[in-house]
Amino acid sequence: MRLLFLHDLQPASEEYYEGRFRAMKDKASDAGINTRFLVRIGHPAEQIVLLANEEAVDAIVIGHRGESFLQRWLLGSVAKRVLSYANCTVVVVR
């Protein structure tokens, strides 16, 4: 029996998501905006905050899906967690 670790999935994930976001990346490039694509393993809010700290970013812009109050209360929200733990300005876009 072979055990599968999350890090074993990273190369396939990078290829999949690179393809999914290629159009957005190309559009940004056409507008003169430099982009970099990263796939990280872990809780999304934690990984966003860690990367922001590693890269010493000035601001994070993050989307919010507009979940109901009950869903946010039960599950928490990535945007809410990033707002709580980031050491920089966070802009939440709805």
1 vs 53, more confident: 53
Q: Would you say residue 64 has pLDDT above 90?
A: no
Q: At what angle do helices 78-85 and 44-55 cross, to 10 degrees?
A: 40
Q: Are residues 57 and 80 in the same domain?
A: yes
Residues 53 and 88 both lie in one domain:
yes
35 & 68 share domain: no
Confirm if 57 and 86 have CB atoms less than 8 A apart. no
Q: What percent of the chain has pLDDT over 70?
A: 82
Same-domain status, 75 and 62: yes
- For residue 69, pLDDT over 80 is answered with no
pLDDT at 17: 85
Task: Please say if the pLDDT value at position 50 is more than 90.
Answer: yes
The range of the structural domain enclosing residue 91 comes to: 42-94
Same domain, 12 and 46: no
Residue 8 pLDDT > 90: no
Residue 89 belongs to domain with CATH number: 3.40.50.620
Q: Do 64 and 29 reside in the same domain of the chain?
A: no
